[in-house]
Structure 1
């Protein structure tokens, strides 16, 4: 939803993001920019540890990573930038969908069975 006219975002946002999120973030940025043409977003995709370092070094203004900051990281960030109080928002959860052939004999799995299958410890039955 577009911003009200008085709150329209403008300028350049430097964003760091975990590399694994690139396809999703690119699509979200397209939608955002279509509704907010006065904004430019520069995204740097890299490992989450480097995103955190870039935020601490003021190279980026925002980051999208797969977790919240640890208490140690929050303390360090506040000590380095006394005006900065880190905020984060949960935007999604991971999920796993198991799709089996309609003629498969097994339709339900226990968590332990899935874990074993994903580790490659599957046994033919």
Structure 2
């Protein structure tokens, strides 16, 4: 009787611990390399958001980034109402927005700055120019 019970428990354990190869592969894949996310931003970030998302998806083909353009205040509203996963803003939150954030979520407001100080060259998408050396930048700024 006891051996049957042990055999039964082992059988149940084996059945529930079995995973398909696809499940094992997905669990072994880091989260940032797969899945879907919606990014909302102001129209002044269109070119940057498109370029960054295209590059990210090229490096991680199992990732999908949905891009959505709106005003910054609407982006914050949509983030707090779980309509989007991430937003890009060019400014700090106002006091009113901070209070709204605190009322809607228990998470502390913690922005991630990704471009605090930089030199940016905007060129046509079809431009053949891919890189600019530091020397060339210094020469252009003289």
Query: TM range, normalised to the smaller chain?
Result: 0.5 to 0.7
SS at 2:90 equivalent: coil
TM-score under structure 2 length normalisation: 0.56
Q: Number of aligned residue pairs: give it.
A: 92
TM-score under structure 1 length normalisation: 0.62
CA 1:34–1:95 in 2, change beyond 3 Å: closer, same or farther? closer
Deviation at 1:75, TM superposition (A): 2.7
Is 1:85 aligned to 2:104, yes or no?
A: no
Q: How big is each residue's C-alpha offset from its partner over 1:18-54, in whole Å with a ceiling of 9 and x where there is no partner?
A: 1111011101111111111111111111111111111
Pairwise CA RMSD of aligned residues? 2.4
Structure 2: 5+ residue stretches without partners: 1-27, 120-142
The corresponding residue for 1:13 is: 37
Structure 1: 5+ residue stretches without partners: 97-125
The corresponding residue for 1:69 is: 93
Considering Cα pairs closer than 8 Å and 6+ residues apart, tell me whether 1 or 2 has the greater RCO. 1
Structure 1 or 2, whichever has the larger Rg, is 2
The corresponding residue for 1:105 is: none
Q: Would you say the 8 A contact 1:8–1:36 is kept in 2?
A: no
CA distance in 2: counterparts of 1:93 and 1:78, whole angstroms? 25
The corresponding residue for 1:30 is: 54
Mapping for residues 36-47 of structure 1, pairs under 5 Å: 36-47=60-71
